[in-house]
Structure 1
Amino acid sequence: MKNEVHVYSEIGQLKTVLLHKPYHEIENLVPEYLERLLFDDIAYIKQARIEHDVFADLLRKNGAEVLYLSDLVSEVLENEEIKNKFLDEFIDEGNVSSVQLKKTLIEYLKNFETKDMVEKIISGIRTKDIPEIKNKSLVDMVNEREDYPFYLDPLPNLYFQRDPFATIGSGITLNRMSTITRNRETIFAKYIFDYHSRFKGVHKWYDRNEKYALEGGDELVLSNKVLAIGISQRTTAKAIQSVAKRILGKESFETILAFNIPKARAYMHLDTVFTMVDHDSFTIHPGIEGPLELYSIRMDKDNSLSIKFEKEELSTILSKYLDLPSVNLIRCGGGDFIDAGREQWSDGSNTLAISPGKVLCYDRNYVTNEALRKNGIEVIEMPSYELSRGRGGPRCMSMPLVREDLN
């Protein structure tokens, strides 16, 4: 097996992909804490898991090896020394209130087999899971009186594997998430890329201890020369500039196109409003076209960044930097205001390219899917009754690790 990642496009044949199948962490969502945990609704987990299995099977049937996050992490944590280090770091970042509670949580978790322990960490630890803590601190006692139901919060967003890290070329950005709620998710990727025999030593273009927020849903590999990164609700311009200094001029990458998109929940990442579906075709939500600002970032000969505000139309800018005679922007909802707004809410623009011109989409976005087909794109639909409640589509739920190079 290769011990490296390899992604130089958004559309090359997908060969290896990382997923997380949601489970008990979704069942630990309650209305009172939805905003804290970045959710708008609560999925019926039995149906959501059925839908996720269909998703994974479709990927396999189309030539992709499917890996699961919990399996890779469990393999790493079979080493007792690494397990201890992981638990120490994870619980510290879980805002645990006292040294005694931390010790109790570690003892509790180490009673599980490794795979079950990983699942328990993801699902969250309820206060009722540990009936008694000896030698409680004042902080522990005060927290108990406040009746918060978790010692460790669940990680319901983890099935959106696109965000904690992103594969670019033969390296990754190990991201700093914009919220404390999600930043613990990146610890799993840290241990995979630091310790797993298949992936350890992969180069990091960015690391989780950086100052500025960067999330994978904002990172697109448009070609082996051009990246697109969104300045969004979840990714800062400062983070993009840091990535640019480290990646431009390395490997084959020459340009970053920074898309400044509206800072709103409906447009939280660039890939919720813009994805690549073929060599010269893209989906786009028409709601961003008016307010969209775009900047090109390149590296000068003296190793300083050259940043330019691009004044032309998006299609012209993409044609120029991708060296294409023209590009086709396929609008979510067929460009209709009502249809686009409705289907954008359930990620009509969030397509996952399996190969050039062949994409996986939620079945509920039938207007957008038909628009894609009319533009020559092969659309494979997957059920989305429950998975869509998390506000993320097929691209959000997957992290490509290996794609074939384009001819």
Structure 2
Amino acid sequence: MQRGLNVHSEIGRLRTVMLHRPGGELLNLSPDTLAPLLFDDIPFLQEAQREHDRFAWMLADEGVEVLYLDRLVAEALDAHEGARAEFCERWLSESGVDGRCARAAVREKLDSIADTTALVDKCIEGVRADELDLAPSSLLSLADLMLTHGNAVSPLVVDPIPNAYFTRDTFSVIGRGVSMNRMLCATRRRESIFGDFVFRYHPAYAGVPRWHESGSAYHIEGGDILVLGPRVLGVGISERTQPAAIDSLSHRLLWGEPPSGVERVFAFSIPHKRSFMHLDTVFTQVDVDTFTVHPAILGTLRVFELARGACAGEVRIRQLDGTLDAILAQALGVGGVRLIKCGGGDEIASAREQWNDGSNTLCVRPGRIFVYQRNSVTNDILSRAGLELLEVPSAELSRGRGGPHCMSMAFWRDEL
């Protein structure tokens, strides 16, 4: 395993990446819970796993070391005495289990799981009432009693975390450090626990610089963070990321210790709607001077540059004029940037393939990118533009509204 973190671009040769294989959490989705758990449909688990396994195999075939979230967390918990108990207590506290008996029953269930990886998987999967002893005679508080409806026990005592396979969001590797992100929606905030324990206790990653903390008052998500270069960061002002969070992150990156190396932060204001959920759903970098882009954002973006001011601790902000390609060329320090439109000029194809993450690509090295197989119009355009495509089967994975970039968190990339 490569020790430490090193991500100074979105396109340097990918050496180490973290994934999460979808599991039993998808089986705990139901039509009634889709909206609060941020899903539009229920993926077929076995096919989603086959597709994800194919993605992981394709990464490994490109020479990428594939790490898995649950195993990293388990290794962190096993490496430090008392970490497992600390993890369980924090997970319980953030899971909304308020009844005394229910909480004790859930803790007993967790303590009965000997294998640490299986414990982490159970925390992602959620806890069903039929796994616990919640007989009416044992319910000693109003919070316990409210778990029941008449004589029927509510099916779930602890909700699943079905968005966990989008490992891009809850923390972000920037340079040699990490931003621990505060998620907008309550259903995803427990995901931050996993990353927190990895970067506190894992032998390979403990002690890396932390550029932001999930306990912040303002929300920011990793899909809005693009590492454009060693000294340049792009962040989306989106449905999921607040301007105040970008202020806080930028101040730490520009002025904090140890130095991050970042000298400029570009904030891209995108429409606040589900189909444009994060910055990486509307554009991603695919080569030194090339990006995929959703054409609906062209002409609508406002872009701001944050840099060091004249006085210590001061951050200077200015709004940038010009087209997106000109601004990106300036940020990257290249003569020009090529924007390849998702769906081309076809309005219906563009909207359809944007919904299925046609602009959400993962670059394994300059010009060689992972894409969802289902976006045939966009993929044909990318191929004809000279890019090498690695097409991931995506009939079920795409139902979660996230593509190859969303499903991966780079830990190590070679320098350009």
TM norm structure 1? 0.97
The whole-number CA distance in structure 2 between the counterparts of 1:269 and 1:77 is: 31
Q: Which of these residues, 179, 182, 193, is aligned with residue 188 of structure 2?
A: 182
AA of the residue aligned to 1:211? A
Please tell me whether residue 58 in structure 1 is matched to residue 67 in structure 2. no
Cα distance, 1:301–1:63 mapped onto 2, change above 3 Å: farther
| 1:147-166 deviation line (CA, Å, top 9, x unaligned) | 53211110000000000100
Please tell me whether residue 216 in structure 1 is matched to residue 222 in structure 2. yes
Structure-2 residue corresponding to 1:388: 398
**Structure 1 residue 3, shift from structure 2 partner:** 3.2
Structure-1 residue corresponding to 2:267: 258
**Structure 1 residue 125, shift from structure 2 partner:** 0.2
- SS of match in other structure, 1:32: coil
Please tell me whether residue 323 in structure 1 is matched to residue 333 in structure 2. yes
- SS of match in other structure, 1:158: helix
Gaps in structure 2 of 5+ consecutive residues: none
Structure-2 residue corresponding to 1:207: 213
Paired residues of 2:304 and 2:318 also in contact (CA < 8 A): yes
**Structure 1 residue 251, shift from structure 2 partner:** 3.3
Structure-1 residue corresponding to 2:145: 141
Paired residues of 2:105 and 2:133 also in contact (CA < 8 A): no
Please tell me whether residue 126 in structure 1 is matched to residue 136 in structure 2. no
**Structure 1 residue 253, shift from structure 2 partner:** 1.2
Structure-1 residue corresponding to 2:94: 93
Structure-2 residue corresponding to 1:72: 72
- SS of match in other structure, 1:116: helix
AA of the residue aligned to 1:120? K
- SS of match in other structure, 1:256: strand
The whole-number CA distance in structure 1 between the counterparts of 2:403 and 2:44 is: 17
- SS of match in other structure, 2:317: strand
Gaps in structure 1 of 5+ consecutive residues: none
The whole-number CA distance in structure 1 between the counterparts of 2:302 and 2:265 is: 14
The whole-number CA distance in structure 2 between the counterparts of 1:75 and 1:187 is: 14
| 1:223-248 deviation line (CA, Å, top 9, x unaligned) | 11111100001110000010100102
**Structure 1 residue 142, shift from structure 2 partner:** 2.1
Paired residues of 2:361 and 2:404 also in contact (CA < 8 A): yes
1:30-45 correspondence to structure 2 within 5 Å: 30-45=30-45
Structure-1 residue corresponding to 2:29: 29
**Structure 1 residue 103, shift from structure 2 partner:** 2.0
AA of the residue aligned to 1:273? V
Structure-2 residue corresponding to 1:245: 251
Q: Which of these residues, 181, 195, 202, is aligned with residue 201 of structure 2?
A: 195
AA of the residue aligned to 2:112? N
AA of the residue aligned to 1:162? R
**Structure 1 residue 80, shift from structure 2 partner:** 5.4
Aligned-pair identity (%) = 44
Structure-2 residue corresponding to 1:301: 310
The whole-number CA distance in structure 2 between the counterparts of 1:25 and 1:335 is: 38
- SS of match in other structure, 2:3: coil
**Structure 1 residue 301, shift from structure 2 partner:** 3.1
Paired residues of 1:3 and 1:200 also in contact (CA < 8 A): no
- SS of match in other structure, 1:33: coil
| 1:362-381 deviation line (CA, Å, top 9, x unaligned) | 00001111111122211110
The whole-number CA distance in structure 2 between the counterparts of 1:20 and 1:178 is: 20
Paired residues of 1:171 and 1:203 also in contact (CA < 8 A): yes
**Structure 1 residue 74, shift from structure 2 partner:** 1.4
The whole-number CA distance in structure 2 between the counterparts of 1:274 and 1:2 is: 29
Cα distance, 1:105–1:277 mapped onto 2, change above 3 Å: same
Structure-1 residue corresponding to 2:384: 374
The whole-number CA distance in structure 2 between the counterparts of 1:131 and 1:51 is: 36
**Structure 1 residue 2, shift from structure 2 partner:** 4.7
| 1:334-358 deviation line (CA, Å, top 9, x unaligned) | 1321110000010000000000111
AA of the residue aligned to 2:290? S
The whole-number CA distance in structure 2 between the counterparts of 1:374 and 1:391 is: 26
Structure-1 residue corresponding to 2:113: 112
Structure-2 residue corresponding to 1:235: 241
Please tell me whether residue 358 in structure 1 is matched to residue 364 in structure 2. no
1:265-276 correspondence to structure 2 within 5 Å: 265-276=274-285
- SS of match in other structure, 2:381: helix
The whole-number CA distance in structure 2 between the counterparts of 1:251 and 1:158 is: 27
Of 65-74 and 127-136, the range deviating more from structure 2: 127-136
Of 264-273 and 317-326, the range deviating more from structure 2: 317-326
Of 20-29 and 290-299, the range deviating more from structure 2: 290-299
Paired residues of 2:77 and 2:201 also in contact (CA < 8 A): no
| 1:278-305 deviation line (CA, Å, top 9, x unaligned) | 0100000011113211111111231311
AA of the residue aligned to 1:370? D
TM norm structure 2? 0.95
- SS of match in other structure, 1:161: coil
AA of the residue aligned to 2:30? V
- SS of match in other structure, 1:222: strand
Please tell me whether residue 333 in structure 1 is matched to residue 343 in structure 2. yes
The whole-number CA distance in structure 2 between the counterparts of 1:285 and 1:97 is: 44
The whole-number CA distance in structure 1 between the counterparts of 2:139 and 2:41 is: 38
Paired residues of 2:329 and 2:335 also in contact (CA < 8 A): yes
AA of the residue aligned to 1:93? E
The whole-number CA distance in structure 2 between the counterparts of 1:335 and 1:216 is: 29
AA of the residue aligned to 1:56? A
1:344-355 correspondence to structure 2 within 5 Å: 344-355=354-365
AA of the residue aligned to 2:86? K
AA of the residue aligned to 1:365? N
